[in-house]
Structure 1
Amino acid sequence: MADSSIHITKAKSSTDIATLIGLIGGFGLVIAAIITGGSPGSFINIPSVLIVIGGTLCVTMICFSLQEMGRTAKVIVKTISYTSRDPSEAAIQVLQIAELARRQGVLSLQGILEQLESEPLLYKGMSMVVDGTPGEEVETILKKDMFSTVQRHQKSANVLKKAAEFAPAMGLIGTLIGLVQMLGNLDDPGSIGPAMAVALLTTFYGAVLANMVFAPMASKLDRNSVEEAMVNNIYVMGAASIGRQENPRRLEMMLNSVLPPAKRVEYFD
């Protein structure tokens, strides 16, 4: 690196096709099965919807704060429009910065800080390094930030996991309500059908929400959180190494020790 200009690859924000295909495909198959059965209208029941969706939301809210519930809604949207980060690209960028600091000095990083603003953790780490913060202190601070991010993601995943637990339970409650209404009006044949619809459809709605929405979305949040944590760990290792003024070749070996085999880099070879 002969100058202070390096190429920083920004994180790519794009629609998560796998999530959309899974949701659309899953619901499409269920809807197709309902339509081919010849009576799609019988699967629509407003009381059942209120019991399952409203009940699940309210019971889940008991376990968490309003702030956590609101944050989860935002995270779900971000899951569909996910910002992907390639660990290999992150490692290359960190090594480029380390080589620049090695050749021209740590203060030369001042000229590239603007390029790092799209990656807050890396930006913060490099800013502290430029300010002369010791590498050990940089590592400690960034690890705390990374841990806080993981905790926030875990709380959002826990909200969805709880919703997945409660949705079938609310369906069962709706089933019991429908059965009580049906048994209490056996002398009125006209009321048996609607009561039975509530009894069966609440269980159906609860199973669909739990197994086709809440549980899969929680798993996707966990997966995305692990991927982001790996990239952030690369940034932490890089900032700490640069702060300690270590040889970039040693940093490359350290990064490859945490990268999956298929993602390992050969920057200096």
Structure 2
Amino acid sequence: MDKLSVLGLLVALGAIAIGYSLEGGVVSALFNGPALIIVLGGTLGAVMLQTSANTFKKMLSITHWVFVTDDHDIEDAIEQVKRWSHKARQEGYLALENEALAHSDPYAAKGLSLLVDGCSEQKLRDTLEIDLLLERERLLEASRVYEAMGGYSPTIGILGAVLGLIQAMSFINDPEQLGTGIATAFIATIYGVGLANLLFLPMANKLKQRVEQKMLYHEMLAEGVIAISQGESPINIELKLEAYRVERPILQAH
């Protein structure tokens, strides 16, 4: 659980609610079902129109990264690569076949499988680099869906406000209901701007961070596997991967 993400959302919503209450407002008045349906439905429909099905599915599958992540300890990962190196030097690459089959990370498993299959160093490097680049682009594209939602949401909120004002004008001869209708109409604008700046855009930025962390973690694994294919000793491999340990003691990845 990413406590900072949860805390940040609670602080943002709490600050708005408390501030509104201190000014004499009633927080319950900010809840309006029709306005929420217009803003969320309109925003979702707009991004579905511009996004491919695969990208949209990928976005849904990584959304939980904002609040829940798996921690990968760089120290453990380096030790794991060193163990692979020891085994490969003592028993040959075929000894890593079970490691490849049992590894929970598909990227690491693929690298080990290519190593076991006797793939040349250059082909191994090219394959892992291409996989890394393509996966990075797919994940970043998925995270940009939330960025697009942050762009559409305020405009859809204004649309909801205009629709509300049109409805409020039907009470032109009833000042009390007209005032209530206008107040309700502007709630859609609040939803549009609030969702964009408190949820969608921060989520997009957090997902981009997660993607870069995941890619850096995989880059480290790729360097380790390539070093094993070069016949590097475990000590040399550890020295080569030392930069990743210094830069990010703990990385977050899926």
TM-score (norm 1): 0.82
Query: Relative to 1, partners in 2 of residues 1:42 and 1:134: Cα closer, same or farther, differing over 3 Å?
Result: same
2:218 aligned with 1:242: no
Report percent identity of matched pairs.
27
2: CA distance between counterparts of 1:67 and 1:197? 40
Q: Once the 2 structures are TM-superposed, how far is the Cα of residue 257 of structure 1 from its aligned partner?
A: 4.2
2:44 aligned with 1:46: no
1: CA distance between counterparts of 2:25 and 2:173? 29
1:106 to 73, 86, 93: 93
Q: 3-state DSSP class of the match of 2:242?
A: helix
2: CA distance between counterparts of 1:91 and 1:173? 53
2: CA distance between counterparts of 1:247 and 1:16? 37
Query: Relative to 1, partners in 2 of residues 1:114 and 1:69: Cα closer, same or farther, differing over 3 Å?
Result: closer
Aligned to 1:130: 116
Contact 2:65 2:207 in 1 (8 A): no
2: CA distance between counterparts of 1:262 and 1:125? 22
Contact 1:85 1:228 in 2 (8 A): no
Query: For each residue in 1:189-223, what CA deviation from the matched residue of structure 2 results, as whole angstroms up to 9, or x when unmatched?
Result: 24412431233211111121111111111111111
2: CA distance between counterparts of 1:177 and 1:226? 41
Bigger shift: residues 223-232 or 19-28: 19-28
Query: For each residue in 1:130-158, what CA deviation from the matched residue of structure 2 results, as whole angstroms up to 9, or x when unmatched?
Result: 12111221121122222222122112210
Q: How does 1:18-37 map to 2 (within 5 A)?
A: 18-36=4-22, 37=24
Aligned to 1:90: 77
Match of 1:239, as an amino acid? V
Aligned to 1:6: none
Stretches of structure 2 that go unaligned for 5 or more consecutive residues are none
Q: 3-state DSSP class of the match of 2:80?
A: helix
Aligned to 1:200: 186
Q: Once the 2 structures are TM-superposed, how far is the Cα of residue 35 of structure 1 from its aligned partner?
A: 4.6
Match of 2:38, as an amino acid? I
Aligned to 1:121: 107
The CA RMSD measured in Å over matched residues stands at 2.4
1: CA distance between counterparts of 2:65 and 2:219? 21
Q: Once the 2 structures are TM-superposed, how far is the Cα of residue 261 of structure 1 from its aligned partner?
A: 4.3
Q: How does 1:134-153 map to 2 (within 5 A)?
A: 134-153=120-139
1: CA distance between counterparts of 2:98 and 2:176? 78
Q: 3-state DSSP class of the match of 1:85?
A: strand
Match of 1:31, as an amino acid? A
Q: Once the 2 structures are TM-superposed, how far is the Cα of residue 58 of structure 1 from its aligned partner?
A: 1.0
Match of 1:60, as an amino acid? V
Query: For each residue in 1:207-246, what CA deviation from the matched residue of structure 2 results, as whole angstroms up to 9, or x when unmatched?
Result: 2111111111111111111111111001111112222323
Match of 2:55, as an amino acid? E
Bigger shift: residues 205-214 or 255-264: 255-264
Q: How does 1:220-235 map to 2 (within 5 A)?
A: 220-235=206-221
Contact 1:125 1:142 in 2 (8 A): yes
2:76 aligned with 1:76: no
Query: Relative to 1, partners in 2 of residues 1:54 and 1:194: Cα closer, same or farther, differing over 3 Å?
Result: farther
Stretches of structure 1 that go unaligned for 5 or more consecutive residues are 1-14, 265-269
Q: Once the 2 structures are TM-superposed, how far is the Cα of residue 167 of structure 1 from its aligned partner?
A: 0.9
2: CA distance between counterparts of 1:244 and 1:89? 22
Query: Relative to 1, partners in 2 of residues 1:236 and 1:262: Cα closer, same or farther, differing over 3 Å?
Result: closer
1: CA distance between counterparts of 2:83 and 2:142? 35
Q: 3-state DSSP class of the match of 1:118?
A: coil
Contact 1:135 1:239 in 2 (8 A): no
Contact 2:100 2:108 in 1 (8 A): no
Aligned to 1:157: 143
2: CA distance between counterparts of 1:195 and 1:20? 34
